[in-house]
Every structure is written in structure tokens, then in C-alpha cells.
Amino acid sequence: MLKNTLQVMLLAAFISCQSQETDTAMDTNTGSTTTAEAGEWQPLFDGKTTQGWHTYGQETVGKAWKVENGTLYLDASNKKDWQTSDGGDIVTEEEFDNFHLKLEWKIAENGNSGIIFYVQEDTAAYDYTWSTGLEMQVLDNDGHPDAKIHKHRAGDLYDLIASSPENVKPAGEWNQVEIISNNGKLEFHQNGEKIVETTLWDENWKQLVAGSKFAGMPGWGTFKSGKIALQDHGDSVWFRNIQIKRL
């Protein structure tokens, strides 16, 4: 009798242990799933490394992109044509469709850069990130020649929609921006104010694209998923607190 009782106790303990292991595995899986679900903020820059990014069409990040004091910094001191030697636009490893992107940027005096999204990384078909991606302009409005061009100023949906109000801070100061794209509804926010709002992919959008410099680029403005890019336009620029939420 004692032997039978001991066997039952051992069996119960075994089943309990197996149950706990299963519960732990389920909790682990649930935690992993939750992290990837819509509604969770995901850092795109850890403040210490360039992990999660690479230069467009390459496997690593060019050496001109540096991590400095918690910022992702393009050192444009070594120019090459209109970009930077060993720089180039950098893109995320992941692609995003509906998203809410937040970050801060500051630009060097007379500088130009951009935040580009829905980038298709197919270098055989597209030479640059902006061959497919939409751009929120990053610019020194007081010093760069592009500021004299309508729809090319800081915060503009580049070459398509001018931002309003214009509330960008001067070169060397931080600007907080957000890009929200959800089921074709696009918004830009800058320093706490909505500055651009439009609908993607409808007839009005097609007319906007047809009247822009992108009209002759195959597929431009039609992509509904892609990578996020930070632009090397040959000028020093800093980014920090980069995070995204899938919608």
C-alpha cells in the first residue's frame, strides 16, 4: 500500500512539474508575441549601437554613421559628391506598413537630410531610397538653398505638400517629429503640432504624384509597406529617441 501511495505521489509531482514547464513556455511565447503585436513601442535605435540598421543595398552601416552621446550621427566631414564618403542612406532591417514613428533630429548649419519611409530595398531596380520612399524633409530653413523651393522646406512631405504651420527650430537645435501612416491616412507632426495631413493612394494622391518630380519613377507613391531610411545628403545630422509602433 505504501509503495502504491509513493508511486502516485511521484506521478503527481512529475505531472505538476511538466505542467509548470508548459506554463512557463506558454508565458514565454506569449511575451514574445506581445512584443511583436500592434500597439507596442519598439526602439529602432538603442542609443549605443547601429544594430537594426544598414546602409542601403549593403550589409553593414557605413563608418561615417556614428553613435555619439546617445545619438545616431552622420559625420559628413569627408564629402563624396553630394553624399558622404563611407556614408550613404541607412535603412531599417524590418519593413513596416501601418505605423507610428517618433524621433528627434537636429541638422548642421546649412544642412539637408530626410526621413524616408516605404522604401523598397531592391538596388537592381532602384538606385536610391527616395526612388521609392516618401520623405519628411529635414533642413536648415535659414541656410540651405532648398528652403527657397516650395514644398522642400523642413517638415514638408517633400515635393508634394508644404507643411503648416512652420515651426521648425534653427540648425543645431532638436526637433521632435512624428510620422503616422495608417490605412492610407498620413500625418506629420513637428514639435507638438500637426503640420501635414493627406490621404495616400487615392485619385487626389495620384494627381499630386503626377505633378511632382517623382512622376517618372516606376511605382513611386504606390507602395504600402517598406523600410524606414535616414538620409545622407552630404551634411552632418543627428537623430535620437527613434521608436516605432505598428498600427
pLDDT at 4 exceeding the cut of 50: no
Q: Decide: residue 136, CB within 10 A, 0-12 exposed, 13-18 middle, 19+ buried.
A: buried
- 30 with 88, same domain: the answer is no
Q: Based on the structure, what is the number of domains in the chain? A: 2
Q: Could you tell me the pLDDT band of residue 39, with boundaries at 50, 70 and 90?
A: confident
Q: pTM to 2 decimals? A: 0.85
pLDDT at 8 exceeding the cut of 80: no
Q: How many CB atoms lie within 10 A of CB 21?
A: 10
Give the residue numbers spanning the domain of 72.
42-246
The predicted structure's pLDDT at residue 37? 64
- 110 with 226, same domain: the answer is yes
pLDDT at 19 exceeding the cut of 80: no
Q: Percentage of the chain with pLDDT > 90?
A: 83
- 210 with 173, same domain: the answer is yes
Q: Could you tell me the pLDDT band of residue 214, with boundaries at 50, 70 and 90?
A: very high
pLDDT at 151 exceeding the cut of 50: yes
- 25 with 51, same domain: the answer is no
Q: How many CB atoms lie within 10 A of CB 153?
A: 19
Q: Could you tell me the pLDDT band of residue 2, with boundaries at 50, 70 and 90?
A: very low
Least confident range from 15-24, 180-189, 211-220: namely 15-24
- 33 with 48, same domain: the answer is no
- 234 with 130, same domain: the answer is yes
- 4 with 63, same domain: the answer is no
- 108 with 187, same domain: the answer is yes
Least confident range from 64-73, 77-86, 103-112: namely 77-86
- 17 with 74, same domain: the answer is no
- 107 with 166, same domain: the answer is yes
Residue 62, sorted as left (phi over 0), alpha (psi -120 to 50) or beta, turns out to be beta
pLDDT at 201 exceeding the cut of 80: yes
Q: Decide: residue 84, CB within 10 A, 0-12 exposed, 13-18 middle, 19+ buried.
A: buried
Q: What is the 3-state secondary structure (H, E, C) of the chain?
A: CHHHHHHHHHHHHHHHHHHHHHHHHHHHHHHHHHHHCCCCEEECCCCCCCCCEEECCCCCCCCCEEEECCEEEECCCCEECCEECCCCCEEECCCECCEEEEEEEEECCCCEEEEEEEECCCCCCCCCHHHCCEEEEEECCCCCHHHHCCCCCCCCECCCECCCCCCCCCCCCCEEEEEEEECCEEEEEECCEEEEEEECCCHHHHHHHHCCCCCCCCCCCCCCCEEEEECCCCCCEEEEEEEEEEC
- 207 with 147, same domain: the answer is yes
The β-bridge partners of 187 are 180, 197
Q: Could you tell me the pLDDT band of residue 38, with boundaries at 50, 70 and 90?
A: confident
Residue with C-alpha cell 563611407? 86
Q: Is-contact 65 77, C-beta < 8 A?
A: no
The β-bridge partners of 132 are none
Q: Percentage of the chain with pLDDT > 70?
A: 85
- Structure-block grid coordinates of residue 76: 559628413
